[in-house]
């Protein structure tokens, strides 16, 4: 079995992940899925974008990088939300205040 050469490029870091994040937020806004399904939706969007746009000629590379797109979008959203709550001084579920 010959493994694909996967290069992380400009698309992956600066365009792919934000697009997955934006599309996931649009899906949340339009369809109001339950909160527990949102990470799965982000992962599916990441895989679909990677397979059909970023790596259309190699399914293994598309699936592999799609997981990174989805999980990077999930982590970015969680980080932004935590930062926003901290700036606004909202109570955190991890604090005893």
Residue 97 burial (10 A CB sphere; 0-12, 13-18, 19+): exposed
pLDDT of amino acid 54: 85
The pLDDT value given to residue 7: 66
Residue 28's CB: how many other CB atoms inside 10 A? Answer: 15
The CA R_g of the chain, rounded to the nearest whole Å, is 16
The Cα–Cα gap between 84 and 97 comes to: 18
**The pLDDT value given to residue 29:** 97
Q: What is the largest CA-CA distance in the chain?
A: 55
> Phi/psi of residue 6, each to 5°?
-115, 120
pLDDT for res 3: 72
Q: Show pLDDT as tens, one digit a residue, over the chain (97 residues).
A: 777 666 667 767 788 899 999 999 999 999 999 999 999 999 999 999 999 998 888 898 889 889 999 999 999 999 999 898 888 875 556 655 4
* 0.85 exceeded by pTM: no
């Amino acid at each position: 079995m010959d493994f694909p050469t996967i290069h992380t490029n400009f698309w992956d870091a600066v365009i792919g992940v934000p697009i997955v994040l934006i599309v996931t937020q649009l899906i949340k806004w339009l369809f109001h899925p339950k909160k527990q399904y949102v990470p799965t939706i982000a992962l599916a969007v990441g895989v679909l974008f990677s397979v059909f746009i970023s790596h259309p000629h190699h399914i293994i590379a598309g699936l592999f990088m799609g997981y990174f797109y989805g999980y990077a979008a999930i982590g970015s959203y969680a980080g932004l939300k935590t930062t926003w709550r901290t700036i606004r001084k909202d109570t955190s579920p991890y604090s005893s205040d």
